[in-house]
């Protein structure tokens, strides 16, 4: 894919650039060395495109978990496919995430977007929308450094509350309920799409996990007991965009067709992790498609407005790629 022009500077990140490492794309930042593997685009919404209007779905409960449900306009008079949509840290109350779900519903999917975080979305990383001082004083630099450390700490604490041991049981309970409620849509299998934080869990649901991992009793990377049975894959096919917290083993374990949208030189989904994971998929003969987008920030595929039209264009391309993959399977 050809390189794109640099994105326009995102005002919410201007004041952070002296305290964080720049990614090379204005408006984007890398996490500091040793900081949590989530960045600003994982925890903050972009401005919502005005033309998209108001979300059309509703929030209800399935197995004591809040879920945003959105359906095709003509459902149930015409058939639909059941799609599990897993968000980044902004969660199900984000207008952008709800509108993203609505877009898939408009293409014939009955979309289930569960609250993976039990009403505890990621803390926003922005602390200021004021323009950055071109020559900050020493005091200002210290304040920025302190703010960055505090943000990294709050994200680390949040991530410690939302591990696979906590998230996987939530997803399994929701899936059990919605497959019963929408048995017609689930009859051909469950499809899944995941952005940022949610991408890892699409990979895990597309893998054969040991039963204790699926039930939240053990971390996926820890040693399994001898003879521990495995649970079958929970989805038919999946698509992910610019994942975070993904290990090569997460990709290597996938056993269902998987589409991967990645960002070039993304510190939150490093090239070596993606390449080693994809190599394992190739060796195991798992159907997959990988596209690496250049000149876009991490989080670009999540619905939201950018001043740079080239990023908006790539956002549309990523959506069409993921939609096409799901429809073709």
| Ranges 170-174, 209-213, 287-291: which has the least confidence | 209-213
Q: From CA 185, how far away is CA 189, in angstroms rounded?
A: 8
Mean pLDDT score across all residues of the chain: 83
Q: Which of 278, 198, 190 is nearest to 233 (CA)?
A: 190
Sign of CA dihedral 249, 250, 254, 257: negative
Cβ pair 101, 114 in contact under 8 A: no
pLDDT confidence of residue 137: 60
pLDDT band at 29 (very low <50, low <70, confident <90, very high): very low
The answer to whether residue 13 scores a pLDDT higher than 50 is no
Residue-by-residue DSSP string for 100-167: HHHHHHTTTEEEEEE-TTSS-PPPP-----SPPPSS--HHHHHHHHHHHHHHHHHHHHHHHHS-HHHH
Does residue 82 or residue 160 have the better pLDDT? 82
User: 33: which DSSP letter?
Assistant: T
Least confident of 52-56, 89-93, 144-148, 175-179: 144-148
Residue 235, Cβ neighbours under 10 Å: how many?
25
> Average pLDDT in the 131-141 region?
52
Does the pLDDT at position 53 exceed 70? yes
φ, ψ at 300 (rounded to 5°): -60, -30
CB contact at 8 A, 243 and 196: yes
Q: Where along the chain do its domains lie?
A: 11-220+228-327
101 contacts: CB under 8 Å, gap ≥ 6: 55, 57, 68, 70, 85, 111, 113
Alpha carbon 279 to its chain's center: 22
State residue 5's pLDDT score.
35
Which residue matches tokens 């689930």? 186
Q: 10 Å Cβ neighbour count for 94?
A: 23
Instruction: Please write the tens of the pLDDT for every residue from 313-329.
Output: 999 999 999 999 999 99
Long-range contacts of 184-188 (CB under 8 A, 24+ apart): 184/76, 184/79, 184/80, 185/75, 185/79, 185/80, 185/81, 185/82, 185/110, 186/82, 188/81, 188/236
pLDDT, residue 33, reads 34
| Nearest in space to 109 (alpha carbons), one of 63, 139, 151, 78 | 78
Instruction: Quote the pLDDT of residue 37.
Output: 59
Which homologous superfamily is 11-220+228-327 in? Alpha/Beta hydrolase fold, catalytic domain (3.40.50.1820)
- 71-85, 111-125, 252-266: least confidently modelled range: 111-125
Neighbours of 240 (CB within 10 A): 30
- Interhelix angle 164-181/197-205, rounded to 10 degrees, is 70
Give me the sign of the Cα torsion angle 319, 322, 325, 329: negative
Contact 192, 84 (CB under 8 A): yes
**Least confident window among 36-45, 122-131, 153-162:** 122-131
- Rounded distance between C-alpha atoms, residue 155 and residue 36, angstroms: 6
Question: What's the first-to-final CA gap in the chain, in angstroms?
Answer: 24
């Amino acid at each position: 894919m050809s390189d794109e022009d640099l994105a326009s500077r995102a005002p919410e990140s201007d004041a952070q650039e002296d305290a964080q490492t720049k990614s090379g794309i204005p408006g984007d930042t890398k996490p500091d060395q040793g900081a949590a593997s989530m960045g600003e685009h994982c925890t903050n919404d972009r401005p919502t495109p005005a033309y998209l209007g108001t979300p059309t779905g509703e929030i209800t409960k399935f197995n004591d978990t809040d879920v945003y449900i959105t359906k095709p306009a003509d459902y149930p008079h015409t058939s639909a496919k059941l799609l599990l949509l897993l968000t980044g840290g902004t969660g199900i109350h984000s207008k952008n995430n709800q509108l993203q779900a609505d877009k898939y519903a408009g293409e014939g999917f009955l979309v289930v977007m569960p609250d993976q975080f039990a009403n505890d979305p990621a803390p926003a990383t922005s602390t200021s929308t004021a323009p950055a001082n071109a020559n900050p004083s020493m005091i200002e630099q210290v304040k920025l450094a302190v703010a960055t450390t505090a943000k990294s700490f709050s994200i680390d604490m949040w991530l410690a509350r939302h591990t696979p041991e906590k998230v996987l049981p939530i997803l399994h309970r929701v899936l059990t309920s919605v497959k019963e409620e929408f048995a017609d849509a689930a009859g051909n299998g469950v499809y899944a799409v995941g952005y940022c934080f949610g991408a890892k869990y699409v990979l895990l649901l597309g893998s054969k996990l040991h039963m204790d991992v699926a039930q939240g009793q053990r971390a996926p990377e820890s040693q399994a007991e001898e003879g521990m049975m495995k649970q079958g894959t929970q989805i038919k096919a999946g698509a992910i965009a610019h994942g975070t917290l993904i290990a090569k083993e997460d990709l290597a374990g996938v056993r269902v067709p998987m589409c991967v949208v990645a960002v070039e030189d993304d510190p939150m989904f490093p090239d070596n992790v993606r390449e080693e994971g994809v190599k394992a998929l190739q060796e195991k003969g798992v159907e997959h498609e990988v596209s690496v987008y250049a000149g876009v920030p991490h989080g670009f595929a999540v619905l939201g407005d950018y001043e740079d039209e080239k990023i908006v264009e790539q956002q549309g391309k990523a959506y069409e790629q993921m939609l096409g993959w799901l429809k073709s399977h």
